[in-house]
Amino acid sequence: MSTDILSLEPKILWNHFYHLTQIPRPSGHEEVVRAYVVDVAKRCELKWLVDEAGNVIIRKPATAGMENLRGVVLQTHLDMVPQKNAGTAHDFATDPIDALIDGEWVRARGTTLGADNGIGVAAALAVLESSAMRHGPLEALFTANEEAGMTGALGLEPGALRGDILLNLDSEDEGELFIGCAGGLDGTMRFSYSGEPVPPGYFGVEIWVSGLRGGHSGMDIDLGRGNANKIMNRLLRMGRERHGLLLASIDGGSLRNAIPRESAALAAIPSAGSAASTTSTRSPGSAPASSPPILAASA
Ligand SMILES: [Zn+2]
Domains of the chain with bracketed CATH: 4-168 (3.40.630.10), 184-299 (3.30.70)
CA-based nearest residue to 24, from 112, 87, 85, 88:
112
* Ligand 1 centroid from CA 79, angstroms: 8
The strand pairing partners of 139, in sequence order, are: 59, 73
* Ligand 1 centroid from CA 77, angstroms: 7
What pLDDT, on a 0 to 100 scale, did the predictor assign at position 207?
97
* Ligand 1 centroid from CA 173, angstroms: 12
If one counts every other C-beta atom within 10 angstroms of the C-beta of residue 281, the result is 15
Cα 118 to Cα 194: distance, rounded to the nearest angstrom? 46
CA-based nearest residue to 156, from 146, 165, 170:
146
**Which pTM value belongs to this model?**
0.68
* Ligand 1 centroid from CA 246, angstroms: 40
Question: What does the angle CA 252 – CA 26 – CA 114 come to, to the nearest 5 degrees?
Answer: 95
Residue 14 CB-density burial (10 A; 0-12 exposed, 13-18 middle, 19+ buried): buried
140 three-state secondary structure: strand
* Ligand 1 centroid from CA 286, angstroms: 46
CA-based nearest residue to 78, from 1, 143, 150, 7:
143
Annotated active-site positions, please? 79, 146
* Ligand 1 centroid from CA 21, angstroms: 15
Cα 31 to Cα 91: distance, rounded to the nearest angstrom? 17
What pLDDT, on a 0 to 100 scale, did the predictor assign at position 289?
42
* Ligand 1 centroid from CA 146, angstroms: 7
What pLDDT, on a 0 to 100 scale, did the predictor assign at position 275?
59
* Ligand 1 centroid from CA 20, angstroms: 14
What pLDDT, on a 0 to 100 scale, did the predictor assign at position 255?
85
Cα 62 to Cα 187: distance, rounded to the nearest angstrom? 44
Cα 76 to Cα 80: distance, rounded to the nearest angstrom? 11
Residue 224 CB-density burial (10 A; 0-12 exposed, 13-18 middle, 19+ buried): exposed
Q: Which residues of 72-108 are buried (b: 16+ CB within 10 A; e: fewer)?
A: bbbbbbbbbbbbbeeeeebebeeeebbbbeeeeebeb
What pLDDT, on a 0 to 100 scale, did the predictor assign at position 84?
86
What pLDDT, on a 0 to 100 scale, did the predictor assign at position 285?
40
| Cβ(9)–Cβ(110) below 8 Å | no
What pLDDT, on a 0 to 100 scale, did the predictor assign at position 277?
57
If one counts every other C-beta atom within 10 angstroms of the C-beta of residue 221, the result is 12
Q: Distance between the two ends of the chain, CA-based, in angstroms? A: 32
| Cβ(228)–Cβ(297) below 8 Å | no
* Ligand 1 centroid from CA 8, angstroms: 22
- Low-confidence stretches of the chain (pLDDT beneath 50): 279-296, 298-299
Cα 191 to Cα 56: distance, rounded to the nearest angstrom? 40
Residue 249 backbone dihedrals phi, psi, to 5 degrees: -155, 155
